[in-house]
Amino acid sequence: MNLYAVIMAGGSGTRFWPASRQRRPKQLLTLFGQGSLLQQTVARLAPLAPPQRVLVVTGQAHAADVAAQLPQVPASQVLAEPLPRNTAPAAGLAAAWVARRDPEAVCLVLPADQIITQESLFIDTLRRAVELAQAEEVLVTLGLSPRYPATGFGYIECGRVLDSAQPQVCAVQAFHEKPDLATAQGYLASGRHLWNSGMFVWRARVLLEEIQRHLPELAAGLAELALALGVPEQEAALARVYPRLPSISVDHGVLERSARLRVVRADFGWSDVGSWEAMAELWPPDETGNACQDGPVLAIEAQGNLVSAQGRLAALLGVSGLVAVVTDDVLLIMPKERSQEVKRFVEMLKERGQDQLI
């Protein structure tokens, strides 16, 4: 059975502003290690899916940059959405493309902007999920064992254990939205709740059947698109059909409604790189906890700061717990604990018509 890696690369990365911009979003940036987050994602999957079986779904504005970063992936396998419609249409589009070649093929669906620190364990866990999708007609999601009571992630509540061999496979009891702190602390204490990773495995046919069952409007649009995928009419068909598709996540639209669901417990050193604060776990700190991505730090009575200064010397005096990001046209300074609020600047700049800074 064929296996295709589907990389979801359509996000705008507003929480990583000002480094992440509309013209060059987070997944195209090098924030940790060698290469962009997108390039690392594709390279990491090489033991499972060679470039000839990699499919990237991205925005039309970024398709050329994605293709340039991934010359080993056939250009026809960079699917450009003419406008964002959330993850259910994106996942459905990829499944329709794969199904034209092999309806029984398994799609391994991953975000383009994550960091994995234990790659061999990551591959072993994916193999487990792929075997499950091959053996049963189910939708498989990967749930990450929570390390702290996160309020920025959704949660998957595990039901009964279906296979206790590691990594453990469970039924899914429920999905939960991003919780408040008290609720997140309860989830962590329960041992039954996992972070929703946004990583999925399913046969192309099985996902399309579930879309037909739960999102018939989307299914109709995908059926119309399927006739044009991989032929010269593809771009025109996407421009015609995509604006009519419902904008909904695959979690809300399909997974939360499906009875064909499994979760594989995952523990392989993961970060969704969801904010500048997250980089404090990834960039090496000095003896006082100051971390810098790309240059030296000169610190006097300064602790726990995070700096991205494009190779400049960062001189810190008497400050603690700050994030400082320098680009050619923006200087951002904020407390680390408020990193999730960066997108407020993006909204403010939009209101002011300063799109050149977004």
Kindly report, residue by residue over 274-326, the tens digit of the pLDDT.
889 888 888 989 999 999 988 789 999 999 999 999 889 999 999 999 999 99
Contact (CB, 8 A) for 81 and 60: yes
Instruction: Write down the pLDDT at residue 278.
Output: 86
- ∠ at Cα 197 (195, 203), nearest 5°? 130
Residue 211 and residue 230: Cα distance in Å, rounded? 21
Strand partners, 115: 271
Q: Is the pLDDT of residue 1 over 80?
A: no
- pTM of this structure: 0.91
Instruction: Write down the pLDDT at residue 32.
Output: 86
Residue 56 and residue 58: Cα distance in Å, rounded? 6
Q: Residue 45: which pLDDT band, with cuts at 50, 70 and 90?
A: very high
Contact (CB, 8 A) for 246 and 88: yes
Q: What are φ and ψ of residue 273, in 5° steps?
A: 45, 50
Tokens representing 18 are 């000002």
Which ranges in the chain are annotated with CATH 3.90.550.10? 3-271
Strand partners, 303: 320
The predicted model gives 243-247 an average pLDDT of 96
Architecture of domain 3-271: Alpha-Beta Complex (3.90)
Q: Is the pLDDT of residue 273 over 90?
A: no
Instruction: Write down the pLDDT at residue 272.
Output: 83
Which DSSP letter does residue 77 get?
G
Residue 118 and residue 103: Cα distance in Å, rounded? 32
CA neighbor of 158 nearest in space, from 146, 147, 167, 169 = 169
Please, how many CA atoms are within 13 Å of residue 313, restricted to the half-sphere of its CB? Answer: 4
Instruction: Write down the pLDDT at residue 349.
Output: 95
Residue 311 falls in which region: left (phi positive, over 0), alpha (psi -120 to 50) or beta: left
DSSP alpha helix (H) spans, the chain: 37-44, 63-69, 87-101, 119-135, 181-190, 204-214, 216-226, 234-241, 250-253, 343-352
Q: Is the pLDDT of residue 190 over 70?
A: yes
110 Cβ contact list (under 8 Å, min separation 6): 5, 6, 7, 8, 41, 45, 198, 199
More confidently predicted of 104 and 32: 104
Instruction: Write down the pLDDT at residue 238.
Output: 96
For the chain, where are the E strands, in sequence order? 3-9, 54-59, 78-81, 106-111, 115-116, 139-144, 155-163, 169-176, 193-203, 261-266, 270-271, 291-292, 297-300, 306-308, 314-317, 322-326, 331-335
DSSP alpha helix (H) spans, 153-284: 181-190, 204-214, 216-226, 234-241, 250-253
Q: What are φ and ψ of residue 111, in 5° steps?
A: -70, 155
Radius of gyration of the chain (CA): 21
Count of C-beta atoms within a 10 Å radius of residue 287: 7
Instruction: Write down the pLDDT at residue 14.
Output: 86
Contact (CB, 8 A) for 194 and 155: yes
Q: b/e string for 151-180 if b means 16 or more Cβ within 10 A?
A: ebbbbbbbeeeeeeeebbbbebeebbeebe
Instruction: Write down the pLDDT at residue 151.
Output: 86
Residue 346 falls in which region: left (phi positive, over 0), alpha (psi -120 to 50) or beta: alpha
Q: Residue 265: which pLDDT band, with cuts at 50, 70 and 90?
A: very high
The predicted model gives 150-165 an average pLDDT of 92
What one-letter code names the amino acid at 192? R
